[in-house]
Amino acid sequence: MEKLLNLQALRKNFGKQVVLNKVSFELNSGEIVGLIGPSGAGKSTMIKTMLGMEKADSGDALVLSHRMPNRHILGEIGYMAQSDALYESLSGLENMEFFAQMKGLSRRDIPKAIDHACQVVDLSEHLNKAVSGYSGGMKRRLSLAIALLGNPRLLILDEPTVGIDPALRRKVWQELRQLKQDGVGILVTTHVMSEAELTDKVGLLLDGKMMAFDSPENLKSAYGVHSIEEVFLKAEGEL
Ligand SMILES: Nc1ncnc2c1ncn2[C@@H]1O[C@H](COP(=O)(O)OP(=O)(O)OP(=O)(O)O)[C@@H](O)[C@H]1O
Ligand SMILES: [Mg+2]
């Protein structure tokens, strides 16, 4: 087991607002951690700060044992942002080819890698269409396919299943479980509590703090409830 993420007392303020208040947690290889918390809790900020896209005010965040940004390990991380960053005038295939090259995949490996990633998100038949003509869910699926390219050791997915229908959502989760079996570590944020049930550990971010961090089973018994949805509501004081 290898420590892929290691956050220690990470603090991030925006002006006077404390968004992350000494957040600590670890993610190991072969583990899926689901990050939940109300809108505005700081989930995306936590991800951006650990990836070096926002500067921490204090504390430490190690990604694959390095401080980010570090271009040497970028190719080992599959990151899917909450808002899609795609080239609208290019086709889905052209986007994938571009990002595959950016990740350093060899020309020979690219077609197979694209093929596999597209199958997972069921996008194969739309690949030649310009992204400007994609629906919201199709853009999410393309972003996820791009994150999967190049067999990253660490996946960081910020709300990957927004706008994705239940059948495909199930397929995406099957793929995440498979990747976990292969030793990939996955951090995924979600507002879908049934997805949080499928993780190894759930982190509940509330008021800038990691209020809970444990397996779904342990959390449910600690809160005396039967679902992660109830854990969430109870922690928020809604139950
Ligand atoms: N660049 C920024 N400048 C100022 N405030 C910011 C910035 N980015 C985020 N915030 C604030 O930080 C807080 C956390 O935002 P963040 O996007 O991390 O929440 P989130 O948990 O990802 O929410 P959601 O579930 O809606 O995606 C919010 O109050 C937001 O307004
Ligand atoms: Mg967010």
Nearest CA to ligand 1 atom 1: 14
Nearest to residue 74, comparing CAs of 33, 104, 44? Answer: 104
- Whole-prediction pTM: 0.95
The closest-lying atom of ligand 1 relative to the alpha carbon of residue 41 is 21
Confidence of residue 92 (pLDDT cuts 50, 70, 90): very high
Angle, CA 139 vertex, CA 137 and CA 140 arms, to 5°: 65
> Residue 162 is encoded by which pair of tokens?
């927004």
Residue from 44, 80, 161, 162 whose mutation best tests the ligand 1 pocket (most atoms within 8 A of CB): 44
Least confident of 16-25, 116-125, 189-198: 116-125
Mean of pLDDT values over 180-185: 97
Nearest to residue 50, comparing CAs of 87, 75, 23, 15? Answer: 23
Give the pLDDT confidence score for residue 239 in this predicted structure.
Answer: 77
The mean predicted confidence, pLDDT, of the chain is 95
